[in-house]
Amino acid sequence: MTIDALYSREILRRTTQIQHVGHLEAPHGSADRVAKLCGSTIHVEVKLQDGLITEFAQTIEACALGQASAAILSLAVLGSTPSEIEAGRDGLRGLLKGEPTDFPGRFRDLIILQSVKDFPARHASTLLAWEATLEAVHLAQRSGHV
């Protein structure tokens, strides 16, 4: 597969769908992640209540793959459980390794990123939003916010 084929119309369309951009007032947890190879960055903030993500904000400077992945997350993150985010991240990791994958229903659109498996240098930026979100959630949980 050529690098041009990697950036499908659907992936590029998703880059325009990023939701929850900005910051939260008094987040319960936050995290920053950097994809060292390409320099993509993300900052995520979350609030949890009753085991659910009730508020979410992100600022992202990433390639189209990182943006598309962050958009899919942002469209369905509110009301999700930490285990759903983890399952989405783990499913995306499996997809990138070429393994059979089953995503939580709310994150099934991650399947559009299957072409990324042929480009290992792009895996870190594709996982960026998921890793940062889980780190922010775990920080919130350790701080007593559930």
Backbone angles phi, psi at 14, to 5 degrees: -65, -25
- 8-state DSSP, 97: T
pLDDT over 90 (residue 94)? yes
Mean pLDDT of all residues in 14-21: 94
Separation CA 142–CA 125 (nearest Å): 26
Contacts of range 115-119, beta carbons closer than 8 Å, 24 or more positions apart: 115/1, 115/5, 115/6, 115/8, 115/11, 116/6, 116/65, 118/1, 118/6, 119/3, 119/6
Q: Residue 8 pLDDT > 80, yes or no?
A: no
Q: What is the mean pLDDT of residues 66-93?
A: 96
Rounded-to-integer distance, Cα 45 and Cα 32, Å? 9
Domains in the chain, please, with CATH? Answer: 3-140 (3.90.1010.10)
- At residue 3 the predicted structure's pLDDT band, cuts being 50, 70 and 90, is low
pLDDT of 78: 98
**pLDDT digits over 132-145, tens only?**
999 999 999 999 88
Measured between alpha carbons, how far is 103 from 111 in angstroms, rounded to an integer?
8
Say what the pLDDT of residue 1 is: 58
More confident residue, 103 or 76: 76
* Residue 2 pLDDT greater than 60, yes or no: no
Would you state the pLDDT for residue 9?
84
Q: What is the pLDDT of residue 119?
A: 86
CA–CA gap between residue 119 and residue 35 (Å, rounded): 14
- The sheet carrying 29-35 orders its strands as 29-35, 40-49, 52-61
Q: What is the mean pLDDT of the chain?
A: 92
